[in-house]
A and B are shown apart, each in its own frame.
Chain A
Amino acid sequence: MRSNKEIEETIRTKLNFTFDPPLRGQLLARALREQEQSQETEPAIDRPAIRRMIMKNSIVKLGIAAVIVAVLGIGIVEFLGTGGTSGVVWAQVAKNVEASTGVIFRSGGTGLRNPIDDWPNGYRITWRSAAVTRTDYYRGGQMYRTIYTNADTKTVIALFHDAKKYNKEAMSDERVQRARADKERWTDPQGLLNLALSLEHHALGQKTIDGVLCEGIEATGPDGSTGRLWVGVETGYPVLAEIEGIDDGKVRHTGTMDQFRWNVDLSAEGVEPEIPADYEPL
């Protein structure tokens, strides 16, 4: 549940409105004309200013999606930061991931901005391919939000199930580039391959996860954050990822990715959500 402090921070940082560029320009031009006209009739009066103003300006751009990226994405970067000495051939794992047309996985964590979304009460199911990402958000077992992005069609569809609202809009080129960059950072197969080959790790040995014999590696980042990745011995695909993010020497965030399904043809999965007839525009 959000605290009053978090409500304050949300209002400070997220409640922002701007004039549309055309109106913005028109208003300034009109204001300058008004200023000029007033000077033609009234002389300016000088008077020294006295008081000093203290202005706080805090900018925090952290949505839930960003938290996910921070907790899980950065964590993945960190746990891949370790080389390979185990029985699993990690370069082959990266090749497998690269060749996978699409993947579905579950993710969750603790220490999120809104504690109500902490695991196990909250979690997400994500479908991801090179161009498409769909994430369903769950809270208390109920799906309350769906976000779908398609970099090829430059489309974003957001469904807010609890409010029966939706938002569908075109992605700007900037957002398309950002979406593709996100994939390169932590979900793009080539990105994973490069990271796996360039960083060091130590082996965790073998254990069985959900009936699958896995081998794991663990890495520790410069700030003490740790990540563990478990890969199926037979399949050569990731089965479980666990991350512990450290801030100021304490564990602030944990993240888990599991229930992976690799080599999924997302086009056949009907990933693009349909907007229910009774949903209203946001």
Chain B
Amino acid sequence: MVEDQLLKWKLRRGSKEALAQVYQKYIDSMLTLAVGLLNNRATAEDVVQDVFLSFARSAGELRLQGSLRSYLMTAVLNRVRDHRRRLGRQALRADAAEPVDPECRSSDPEEAAILVEETARLGGAIAQLPDEQREVVLLRLKANMRFRDIAGLQQTSLNTVLGRYRYGLDRLRAMLNGEVER
């Protein structure tokens, strides 16, 4: 987008306004991706803070040719993977056991209560997916990434990514429809 091109140009010139605009534009998407990947809000907030502060420090050197959104989302993914490696699977499972506090922006109280529940169930179901499938589903649907780019991030073939996406959705559908026990 032209707007992002302008933001990158301004960032390289040290514009605070541009950094604030990037922040307002992408910080919630970054948090949503991180929460989805980790199923732990506190850890997700730490991850996103680390990523954005690092981005702020290096914004003046930004040589990014692709989209800001993909760049930031990829940074979140990489930081999540670092987190996984650092803590190991056992700690992550404990992490994931902490319930995510769902939120809803609806002002209608009845609708809000329902959406809170649906978000909690959805988050719980996504947390049950294998890491690779969860990454593909979230990068595709919440980061708007192309399958080809996701394949690059996962260092695998396009067909494998497409398969992970389909299996992931099938499994989510089964869980949300109550076809299998979670």
Interface SS of chain A: helix, strand, loop or mixed?
mixed
Between A1, A56, A116, the greatest number of chain B beta carbons within 10 A of the residue's beta carbon is seen for: A1
Contact across chains for B176 and A53 when beta carbons are under 8 A apart: no
Which of A21-29, A201-209, A220-228, A248-256 makes up part of the contact surface?
A: A21-29
Asked if A11 meets B122 with Cβ closer than 8 Å, knowing A24-B27, A35-B59, the reply is: yes
Contact across chains for B31 and A18 when beta carbons are under 8 A apart: yes
Considering only CB atoms, which chain A residue lies closest to B55 in the complex? Answer: A31
Asked if A178 meets B107 with Cβ closer than 8 Å, knowing A1-B177, A4-B170, A14-B122, the reply is: yes
Considering only CB atoms, which chain B residue lies closest to A16 in the complex? Answer: B32
- B residues apposed to A, CB below 8 Å: 1-2, 4-5, 8-9, 12-14, 16, 19-20, 23, 27-28, 31-32, 35-36, 41, 44-45, 49, 52-53, 55-70, 99, 102-103, 105-123, 126, 137-138, 141-142, 144, 166, 169-170, 172-173, 176-177
Interfacial chain A residues near B57, Cβ < 8 Å? 34-35, 37-38
The number of residues on chain A lying at the interface, defined by a beta carbon within 8 Å of a beta carbon of chain B, is 68
Q: In the docked arrangement, what's the CA distance between A163 and B114, Å?
A: 13
- A residues apposed to B, CB below 8 Å: 1-4, 7-8, 10-12, 14-19, 23-24, 27-28, 30-32, 34-39, 42-56, 61, 63-66, 116, 133, 135, 145, 147, 149, 156, 158, 160, 163, 165, 167, 171-172, 174-175, 178-179, 182, 282
Interfacial chain B residues near A38, Cβ < 8 Å? 56-60
Contact across chains for A4 and B169 when beta carbons are under 8 A apart: yes
Asked if A31 meets B169 with Cβ closer than 8 Å, knowing A2-B176, A53-B66, A167-B116, the reply is: no
B121 to chain A, nearest CB (A): 8
Considering only CB atoms, which chain B residue lies closest to A150 in the complex? Answer: B109
Considering only CB atoms, which chain B residue lies closest to A5 in the complex? Answer: B169
Interfacial chain B residues near A12, Cβ < 8 Å? 141-142
Kindly count the residue-residue contacts between A and B in the assembled complex, taking CB atoms under 8 Å apart: 208
29 A–B contacts from the bound complex (CB under 8 Å): A2-B176, A3-B173, A11-B122, A11-B126, A12-B141, A15-B32, A15-B36, A15-B119, A15-B126, A16-B32, A17-B28, A18-B31, A24-B27, A32-B20, A34-B57, A51-B66, A54-B1, A55-B67, A61-B105, A63-B115, A65-B108, A66-B111, A158-B114, A158-B116, A167-B117, A175-B109, A179-B108, A179-B110, A182-B108
